[in-house]
């Protein structure tokens, strides 16, 4: 069982460091998040800037961008998701290995942003895949992406290995498949994944 926080600090002062498997596990996961190397729109330029020397995402252990979903932990939805692109994004998310995380970067990825009324733009990627962190902005500054990254790390740090609130990847019962939408006559079919995004009721 976990060591009491006070005792841990007291022991640390004496030069004795104790930890738990859970802490070690979460520390390992959060310190080497490998994002997937793919950009969708203008936000991708900010994402690229974040990884470069000026902002240096490597300080947080997230500089290893992988071009294959099999090797990536984190999907940064960096930009406008058109309805043409949405099935590919969902398929790539499905192909990532567990545990996997999603950052919705920018107004378009969150809700469709300035193109929300457009016929061809998805009104938020969270209709199909579970998003861990949303960052608003058009585009968000690199600092905002780093903030999202740190928020995700905090989220990972707070996860438990066991218990009813454990994350999906630790639950053998939880399904790892998210249905890939298809192009219909007028819209994507289905228009959203009910398991991830409950359709809001519009009250007029």
Partner 1 sequence: MASNPYFSLAVLFVAALGFGLAPLGLAWVWARVFSPAKPNEVKNAIYECGLESRGDAWMQFRSAYYLYAIMFLIFDVEAVFLLPFAVAFTGLSLAACMAMLVFVLMLVEGLVWAWAKGILTWA
Q: Which one of the spans 42-50, 74-82, 93-101, 152-160 is the region binding partner 1 (CB under 8 A)? A: 93-101
- The single residue listed with the structure tokens 């976990």 is 2
Q: Which one of the spans 2-10, 44-52, 63-71, 116-124 is the region binding partner 1 (CB under 8 A)? A: 63-71
In the chain, count of helices (H) and strands (E)?
Answer: 6, 5
CA distance 63 to 127: 28
Number of residues that bind partner 1 (CB under 8 A): 22
Q: Which one of the spans 5-13, 76-84, 92-100, 142-150 is the region binding partner 1 (CB under 8 A)? A: 92-100
Question: Contact with partner 1 (CB under 8 A): which of 176, 184, 190, 195?
Answer: 176
CA distance 117 to 41: 18
Q: Considering beta carbons, is residue 172 or 199 the nearer one to partner 1?
A: 172
25 binds partner 1 (CB under 8 A): yes
Enumerate long-range contacts of 11-15, CB under 8 Å, 24 or more apart.
none
196 binds partner 1 (CB under 8 A): no
Q: Considering beta carbons, is residue 54 or 70 the nearer one to partner 1?
A: 70
- CA of 42: how far to CAs of 46, 52, 56, 80, in Å? 7, 16, 19, 8
Please give the structure tokens belonging to residue 181. 């939408």
Q: Which chain residues interact with partner 1 by CB under 8 A?
A: 25, 68-70, 88-89, 91-92, 94-95, 98-99, 161, 169-172, 174-177, 180
């Amino acid at each position: 069982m976990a060591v009491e926080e006070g005792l841990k600090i007291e022991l640390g002062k004496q030069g004795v460091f104790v930890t738990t498997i859970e802490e070690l596990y979460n520390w390992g996961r959060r310190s080497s998040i490998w994002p997937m190397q793919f950009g969708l729109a203008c936000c991708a330029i900010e994402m690229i800037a974040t990884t470069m020397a000026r902002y240096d995402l490597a300080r947080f252990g997230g500089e290893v961008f992988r071009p294959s979903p099999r090797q990536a932990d984190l999907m940064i939805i960096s930009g406008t998701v058109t309805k043409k692109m949405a099935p590919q994004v969902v398929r790539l998310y499905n192909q990532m290995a567990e545990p996997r995380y999603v950052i919705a970067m920018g107004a378009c990825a969150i809700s469709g942003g300035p193109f929300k009324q457009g016929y061809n733009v998805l009104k938020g990627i969270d209709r199909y895949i579970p998003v861990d962190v949303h960052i608003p902005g058009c585009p968000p500054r690199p600092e905002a992406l780093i903030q999202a990254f740190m928020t995700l790390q905090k989220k990972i740090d707070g996860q438990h290995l066991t218990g009813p609130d454990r994350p999906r990847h630790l639950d053998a019962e939880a399904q790892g498949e998210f249905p890939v939408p298809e192009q219909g006559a007028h819209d994507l079919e289905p228009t959203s994944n009910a398991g991830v995004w409950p359709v809001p009721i519009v009250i007029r």
